[in-house]
Chain A
Amino acid sequence: MINPVPPAAIFIIAALLVPLFKGRWKSAYMLLIPVVGFINLISIPEGTHWVVRFLDYDLVLGRMDRLSIIFGYIFHIISFIAILYALHVKDDVQNVAGLIYAGSALGVVFSGDLFSFFVFWEMLTISSIFLIWARRTRAAMGAGFRYLLVHAAGGLCLLAGIVLYVNQTGSIEFGYIGLSGLSSYLIFFGFGVNCAWPFLHPWLSDAYPEATITGTIFLSAFTTKCAVYALARAFPGTEALIWIGAAMAGFPIFFAVIENDLRRVLAYSLINQVGFMVVGIGIGTHLAINGAVAHAFNDILFKALLFMSMGAVMYRTGKINGTALGGLYRTMPLTCLFCIVGAASISAFPLFSGFVSKSMVMSAAGDGHMRVVWFILLFASAGVFHHAGIKIPFFAFFSHDSGMRPKEAPLHMLLAMGIAAFLCIFIGSFPGPLYSMLPYPVDYVPYTIPHIVGQTQLLFFSALAFTLLMLAGIYPGEQRCVNLDADWFYRKGSRLFYLIMDKGLNSLNKVSDRIFVGGLAGFFGYISKRGPEILTLGALTPLWGITGAKGKELKDKIETTRTALHTHTSPIGISAALATVFLVVIFLLR
């Protein structure tokens, strides 16, 4: 019997060995990593493992409880699916970054202390950037740098919060924190950046669509879900999260509807779905936390499925804009089918996974008599069906005929999508196994007549609204353009900042240069070079005049003295006279 090891270690160490393998061996090796990791995970009992003494603190690399374990399960499942989907990728940067990213996410959820949590949290950021940059386009480079800057700011806030928190409490244990004092607000804000809260979110809709086809599958699964986990661990029942989550669920709808890039539509829908989870954590009841965690589990699967289907379209056609696609169901029927399964799941159709988890959060809001929040979530449910449920499959596979007849997606992509689609339907049809893994005991029945009828009504009326908007010509046309939302502030703001710095600091720099470098320094240089000569001749010339020197004689004396001073060969008498003058001056100044 081999002893288990920290789940993160398997991925991170194995990632470093990936470049040593080639061809089919590499594929087999990479697929084996999440399988071995999963076997390792299920062999670890609940409790605290791998406690390492560091300075005066205990670092906990394996805090296994029901909250962390369910995230561990889904992270392994999605890693396997994403690796299978990415088998065609020969680029080791992507392969290694993807595995380290997955390992870091596992490190985050199993860390029992704030120090190792922060280390894995930052590894998450760094490894994910390479999945964006690996596309090697100008847009990807820009998006990656913006992503880096935003996450660096968030990471610094988190670090400052952790340092203050540890200083206040004397403990580095990562558990319930709650909002009380500056340290907790800084930690809260640090989590919020990765969670893509409103106004902190543009990194997500900016960077995810610019990442590589396979990188986006990894990205959609880990960063935001780690933040959801962290909030569920440290801030359950924090009321502010209810309103933050409600805003997250609501506002992306509007941007997703007008967006042309279909992967960016999915990025907005990712924020929308994370909003449901954040609301659940904010409500904080057992049902709500269960709902948030269950929805995180399901969202990882159906969002990956939707990104995979769009990735397959992009892989085959080289295009992802709604204006360029359409009519692909003819030659990509299986991809189309899997996309529809993902769309039905995210829209919470009965028998699909979203139905059994999203309603838990809405029921918790209803139980708490939060009418406004409930209505916002209802609007968000209709909206997500509108943009992710209908728009994505409709514009990619139906709509106008683009004339393209690409081949069906490669087998490994179809297999990956097939597994994700199967899980979406299985969980939606048999939610028992998922419910049995949730943090708290589940006493919730999703399949009741009112719930089925209510949800079906919502979806069909939403479909009716879409159809009538299209036929009436009111639905906004998709345009080839970049839509800015809150990133307007830093995109335009950065220009303003640059302008102020350019005109302000650079002008000051020029003036300083002129005064200190060109002016004063030149003056002092001149004085240090010619000073002795000016002073000496200024003092001696009148003296020579008094003693009778005139004309050529005086000229010769001046010239001889000047040369002597230039060559530092001045007669001893002059040096002595100058020294005397100097001493007299010093004496007078005393």
Chain B
Amino acid sequence: MTEERSEEIEGKMELSHDPVPGYRTIFFVAFAVGILYLGFILFKTL
């Protein structure tokens, strides 16, 4: 391939990431736990 070809923009218009069932809940649970844990650490140290 030559460098000139790189000018062409090809491929998908959007590379979306489809959700896997169940993981959205896991994400929000993990996120909430993370926020609580971080809040606790900040509360104890600051």
Chain B residues lying within 8 Å of A316, measured Cβ to Cβ, are 1
- Determine if B1 and A317 form an interchain contact, defined as CB atoms under 8 angstroms apart: yes
Chain A residues lying within 8 Å of B26, measured Cβ to Cβ, are 468, 471-472
Bound-state Cα–Cα, A318 to B5, Å: 5
State how many angstroms separate the Cβ of B24 from the closest Cβ of chain A. 4
Partner of A464, one of B12, B16, B20, B30: B30
Chain B residues lying within 8 Å of A470, measured Cβ to Cβ, are 17
Question: Could you mark each residue 453-491 of chain A with 1 if its beta carbon is under 8 Å from any beta carbon of chain B, else 0?
Answer: 000000001001000111111110111100000000000
Smallest Cβ-Cβ distance to B20: which chain A residue:
A471
- Determine if B14 and A474 form an interchain contact, defined as CB atoms under 8 angstroms apart: no
User: Interface range on chain B: under 10, 10 to 19, 20 to 34, or 35 or more?
Assistant: 20 to 34
Question: Could you mark each residue 5-35 of chain B with 1 if its beta carbon is under 8 Å from any beta carbon of chain A, else 0?
Answer: 1111111111111111001101100100010
Chain A residues lying within 8 Å of B19, measured Cβ to Cβ, are 471-474
Chain A residues lying within 8 Å of B46, measured Cβ to Cβ, are 371
Bound-state Cα–Cα, A479 to B14, Å: 4
Bound-state Cα–Cα, A514 to B22, Å: 74
Bound-state Cα–Cα, A461 to B5, Å: 39
State how many angstroms separate the Cβ of A141 from the closest Cβ of chain B. 12
Bound-state Cα–Cα, A131 to B17, Å: 36
Question: Could you mark each residue 310-347 of chain A with 1 if its beta carbon is under 8 Å from any beta carbon of chain B, else 0?
Answer: 00001111111111110000000000000000000000
Bound-state Cα–Cα, A479 to B5, Å: 20
- Determine if B1 and A473 form an interchain contact, defined as CB atoms under 8 angstroms apart: no
Smallest Cβ-Cβ distance to B23: which chain A residue:
A471
Question: Could you mark each residue 205-223 of chain A with 1 if its beta carbon is under 8 Å from any beta carbon of chain B, else 0?
Answer: 0000000110000000000
Partner of B11, one of A135, A139, A321: A321
Chain A residues lying within 8 Å of B8, measured Cβ to Cβ, are 318-319
Chain B residues lying within 8 Å of A395, measured Cβ to Cβ, are 15
Q: A371-B46, A470-B17, A473-B17 are in contact. Are A318 and B1 (CB under 8 A)?
A: yes
State how many angstroms separate the Cβ of A258 from the closest Cβ of chain B. 12
Smallest Cβ-Cβ distance to B8: which chain A residue:
A318
Instruction: Say if the beta carbon of A493 comes within 8 Å of chain B.
Output: no
Chain A residues lying within 8 Å of B1, measured Cβ to Cβ, are 315-318, 406
Chain A residues lying within 8 Å of B11, measured Cβ to Cβ, are 319, 321, 323-325, 402, 480
Extra inter-chain contacts (20) besides given A325-B11, A473-B16, A473-B24, CB under 8 Å: A137-B7, A314-B6, A316-B1, A318-B2, A319-B10, A319-B11, A321-B11, A323-B13, A324-B12, A402-B11, A468-B27, A472-B20, A473-B17, A473-B19, A473-B23, A474-B24, A477-B15, A477-B16, A479-B14, A480-B14
- B-side residues, CB < 8 A to A, are 1-20, 23-24, 26-27, 30, 34, 46
Q: List 28 A-B contacts (CB under 8 A).
A: A139-B7, A213-B3, A314-B6, A318-B1, A318-B6, A318-B8, A319-B10, A323-B12, A323-B13, A325-B11, A371-B46, A395-B15, A402-B11, A406-B1, A461-B34, A468-B23, A468-B27, A469-B27, A472-B23, A472-B26, A472-B27, A473-B24, A474-B27, A475-B17, A477-B17, A479-B15, A480-B11, A480-B12
